[in-house]
Amino acid sequence: MLPYEAIVFDMDGVLADSEPVYFAAMRAVLAPLGHEVTDGHQRAIMGHSIEATWAYLRETFSLEGPLDGLVEAYDRELVQQLARITNPLPGVRELVAALRERNVPIAVASSSLPAWIEALLGGIGLAETFDALVSATMVAHPKPAPDIYVEAARRLGKAPERCIAIEDTPTGLTSAKAAGMLTVQVRSSSTAWPPQTEAAIVLESLREFDLRLVAGNK
């Protein structure tokens, strides 16, 4: 089956060490209400959609009534904080540049909202780099369902089984594997998970990515 024809990147924890920003934004919104968001809570929702995240927070903290105001405050806080991230994770710039040089199609498939994706990619200087950006808001079912990876492959004009997915969370790896992609787990973020069984390949950083996995046309 080698080489593969396209690569789809998750964003948070893969392109940038941004998961702590989500945690900080959650704390900023919920602390005034007397709720303490812990590392355990963060682990439980990493890689999930905004709907799943706030459903979890509603149940965990017994939040009552409409959550629109809290979600809007969270959204505003996140856009500001994500845009302040300027450094991608190790190997990201080099790998993306090498893939661009080889004309390998690349996409982002993230559970984040489109505005969050744009803010972070803009901050790290990769806003115009990818051939497709797919948010969980653009598909019927978020991760761990395969929809987002299937849609990313469609937008790149490739069959999912001809694509590599680079992920960091169990939720994302499950999604990509269900779509039929080769799953690569990268562990360079501060919130890195232990090696996961859903990953066909585990890397400590994207500096270790083997370009022989992909076909390219220079």
Q: Find out whether 8 and 109 touch, Cβ atoms under 8 Å.
A: yes
Q: Which tokens is 48 given?
A: 């999930």
Helix residue ranges per DSSP H, the chain: 19-30, 39-45, 50-61, 68-83, 92-101, 114-123, 147-156, 170-179
Q: Which tokens is 170 given?
A: 């169990």
One-letter amino acid for residue 118 of the chain:
E
Catalytic residues: 10
User: CA-CA distance, 163 to 1, in Å (whole number)?
Assistant: 10
Q: Which tokens is 114 given?
A: 């489109």
Buried b (16+ CB within 10 A) or exposed e, 87-112: ebbbbbbebbeebeeeebbbbbbbbb
- Residue 200: exposure state from Cβ atoms within 10 A (0-12, 13-18, ≥19): middle
Sign of CA dihedral 93, 98, 101, 105: negative
